[in-house]
Amino acid sequence: MEKSIYEFKMKDIDGKDVDFSKYKGKKLLLVNVASKCGYTPQYADLQELNEKYGDKVTILAFPANNFGGQEPGSHEDIKAFCSANYGVTFQLFEKISVKGVDKHPLYRWLSDKNLNGWNNTEPSWNFCKYFINEKGELVKFFPSSVKPMDAEILALINA
């Protein structure tokens, strides 16, 4: 079981390995995303956040089909959708499960206080956000309704 966010290794949307140790010293915003959700327009906000604050925070997006079957597509479908509709340039990963018995170990770490130190909240819908500080500590969970350009997220980025 990974004890630190930096111990994870996952595949990106193109199937290439990403070692999370490369994110040491960086603030991270992890988001479970979906293409057919009422919150899907948040992709535009995430892209804006990436363009304006990408030097201060790294966005990691994890497509998931856990809520209402709202991410049914293949990796190719997801990548094409994000590029064509939102011009996404931030890091997209392969589709994973973010809750339930098949929950990916990363989301197990994010939502188990015995692993991350304090938080037991797992995503309740698409576009939930987890903020990690530059020391690799989970510092805040945001529900779907909190937009990426929200003042509280910007305050964490600029702290």
Catalytic-labelled residue, pool 34, 37, 110, 153: 37
Distance CA 132, CA 110 (A): 10
32 within 8 A of 62, measured Cβ to Cβ: yes
Q: For strand 138-142 and strand 129-132, is the pairing parallel, antiparallel, or unpaired?
A: antiparallel
Q: Would residue 128 show up in a list of annotated catalytic residues for this protein?
A: no
Please, which contacts does 97-102 make with residues 24 or more away whose CB atoms are closer than 8 Å?
A: 97/64, 97/65, 97/66, 98/32, 98/62, 98/64, 98/66, 98/122, 98/123, 98/128, 99/66, 99/123, 100/66
Q: Active-site positions?
A: 37
